[in-house]
Every structure is written in structure tokens, then in C-alpha cells.
Amino acid sequence: MNKNELNKMVDFTGRTIAVTGGAGVLGSGIAKALLEAGANIAVLDLDKSQADAQFLNKGYDESRIITAGGNVLEPESMTQALDAIIAKFGKVDTLINGAGGNHPKSTTAPDKPFFDIPADAFKFVMDLNVLGSVVPSQIFARHFADNGEGNILNISSMNAFRPLTRIPAYSAGKAAISNFTQWLAVHLAQEYSPKIRVNAIAPGFFLTHQNRFLLTDEKTGELTARGKAIIDHTPMARFGNPEDLLGPTLWLLSPAAQFVTGTIIPIDGGFSAFSGV
Ligand SMILES: NC(=O)c1ccc[n+]([C@@H]2O[C@H](COP(=O)([O-])OP(=O)(O)OC[C@H]3O[C@@H](n4cnc5c(N)ncnc54)[C@H](O)[C@@H]3O)[C@@H](O)[C@H]2O)c1
């Protein structure tokens, strides 16, 4: 392989990538990197105003951007988004399922025992993290099957490998998404095309609004006991930055990973490899 072919692997010019939760911390970081790499980007988010604020009037080439409000739990909403992307760019090459998250009412604490977690809070988190990737995958994968190629990237988590204390619904949801990633990779390759790939990244611990005040003290900014335990169990001894996700993500979405499907790639500073001893 010559240098030109190697460089082309990270050149996404002419490829169209839809990112759900694309206004969020990790989704927007990934979408911006893909924009820089030449891709057309569709930013789909429940919060369209936040998607607009992140991507419009920011100096990006807006002919390569669509922002759309959309709910990943509603098939009609995802179908409308897919139609809008096809109308503008002709087809979609990649879906990144970036919408996800936890809910405070599904988290245990000394004054919030597991016994009292409301079923609707548990269900909210399971729905968002599981169906929130299943529904868009159903809509977009049909388009990939028609085209004979495509790429899906899910976002799993450390707690999919071994659950973290306090967050039973989020841990169960992410374990399900890792399992679904493997299932869908096999299904789409066998039933539709070996050129449709499905993978996941499993980020370690990134300070975002979802977890900031579990890991750092709201008033002092010091690490909480939980934040310190994480750093102590991370051989690289720091939290991740959104930029840490970019290289592995671009690789998974590029032809450099053309024989890679059904994987869950930890991006965690070694957390999942470390036994603690
Ligand atoms: N932050 C971390 O440390 C971390 C670690 C591992 C995995 N993750 C996962 O990465 C993904 C992104 O996390 P983040 O930290 O960027 O979160 P975030 O809260 O910053 O972004 C999530 C985005 O999803 C959108 N969203 C929520 N519900 C939606 C719905 N029903 N339909 C469409 N959009 C919806 C929100 O508006 C938000 O913009 C999530 O799946 C999260 O579970 C995060």
C-alpha cells in the first residue's frame, strides 16, 4: 500500500455520516473531527438549538452539514431525518449512535436505596441506551442493506464489561448495547452484505455534564472518593478528553478497519485491563 492510499484511509471526503446525540459532548467532538476529515455530517439531536449552536455560524463549510431535531426513540422521527439526509447528500454511509445517558432517579445513593428506584426511571435509561440505538439502526441499516454497504458505530461503556456501583440501569443498558453490537454485526454481514460493519467504542471516564458531579466536588472541584477510585484504577492516571476518542473512531469508520466488525474497543487509559493489583 502506498502513501497516497494510506492517506486516503483517513480522508472522508464524499462520505455522509449521521450522528445521533450529535449536539452532546462526545457526539459533537466526533462529528467535528469527521467534518475536518472531509465528511458530510448530519447532526441529529433532541435539542436542535444546541446542534445549531455547535455547528452553524462557526466557520464550518455548512454545505456539508445538516442539523435536525430528532428523537432516537421514535421511528418516524429517524425516518424523516434519513429522508432529509438523502435529499441533501444522496445517501448515508455511516450511523453513529451517540445519544445515550443516565438519569439521577436510576442511581443509588445512601439516601436512595436500590429498593426504591422507580420502574419508570429504570425504563427511561434502558430505553434511551438500548432502544435509542436499536431504532436508528433499524431505519438506517435498511438503507445500508439496499446500498450493499454501510457502517454503524455504537457507544458502549466501561460498565458494560463489569457493572459500576450505583448505576444499575445504565450498566445494564450498556451491557445490552455491547451484546447488540455483536448481534447486529453478525446479522447484517450474513443476511445482507459483508460490507456492512457494526462496532462500538467503550469510552472510559470522560468528565461531562452527565457525570461531572459524581466524580468531582461541585464546590471545590476536588475529586470525589469515586473520582479518586477511578483515577487509581486507570493505569494512565487521568480522565479521558473527548479528543482521545477521535483516532480510534476515525480508524473504525475508515477502510483501514474494513475487516473489523462486531468489536467493542475500550478507550480507557487501561482501566478495563487493570485488575487493581
Ligand atoms: N461521558 C462519558 O464519560 C461517557 C463514557 C462512556 C460512554 N458514554 C456514552 O457516550 C454517549 C454520549 O455521551 P455524552 O457524555 O456526550 O452525553 P451528552 O449528554 O453530552 O450527549 C447526549 C446527547 O444526546 C441527546 N439526546 C438525549 N436523548 C435523546 C433522544 N431521545 N433522541 C435524540 N437525542 C437525544 C442529548 O440532547 C445530548 O445532546 C452516550 O451514549 C453515553 O452513555 C459517555
Instruction: List, for residues 231-271, the tens digit of each pLDDT value.
Output: 999 999 999 988 999 999 999 999 999 999 999 999 999 99
pLDDT of residue 209: 73
Residue 1, pLDDT > 90, answer no
User: Looking at the annotation, which residues are catalytic?
Assistant: 170
Atom 36 in ligand 1: which residue has the minimum CA distance?
Answer: 21
Q: Give pTM, 2 decimals.
A: 0.96
For residue 206, the ligand 1 atom closest to its alpha carbon is 3
> Is 257 contained in some domain?
yes
> Is 92 contained in some domain?
yes
Atom 5 in ligand 1: which residue has the minimum CA distance?
Answer: 203
Please compute the mean of the pLDDT values over residues 18-33 and round it to a whole number: 96
> Is 198 contained in some domain?
yes
pLDDT band of 70, cuts 50, 70, 90: very high
pLDDT of residue 129: 98
pLDDT of residue 242: 86
Percent of all residues in the chain with a pLDDT value above 90, rounded to a whole number: 91
Instruction: List, for residues 34-51, the tens digit of each pLDDT value.
Output: 999 999 999 999 999 999
Count the domains in the chain.
Answer: 1
Q: Domain containing 179: what range? A: 3-204+240-269
pLDDT of residue 10: 86
> Is 228 contained in some domain?
no
Name every protein residue with a CB atom under 6 angstroms from any ligand 1 atom: 20-21, 23-27, 45-47, 50, 70-73, 98-101, 128, 132, 155, 157, 203, 205-206, 208, 210-211
Q: Domain containing 31 — which CATH number?
A: 3.40.50.720
List Cβ neighbours of 272 (8 Å cut-off, separation of 6 or more). 158, 161, 202, 204, 266
Cα torsion for 141, 143, 144, 147, to the nearest 10°? Answer: 160
Burial of residue 66, with CB atoms counted within 10 A of its CB: 0-12 exposed, 13-18 middle, 19 or more buried: buried
> Is 219 contained in some domain?
no
> Is 220 contained in some domain?
no
pLDDT of residue 212: 83
> Is 34 contained in some domain?
yes
> Is 235 contained in some domain?
no
Instruction: List, for residues 144-179, the tens digit of each pLDDT value.
Output: 999 999 999 999 999 999 999 999 999 999 999 999
Probe target for ligand 1 pocket from 95, 155, 156, with the most ligand atoms within 8 Å of CB? 155
pLDDT of residue 8: 82
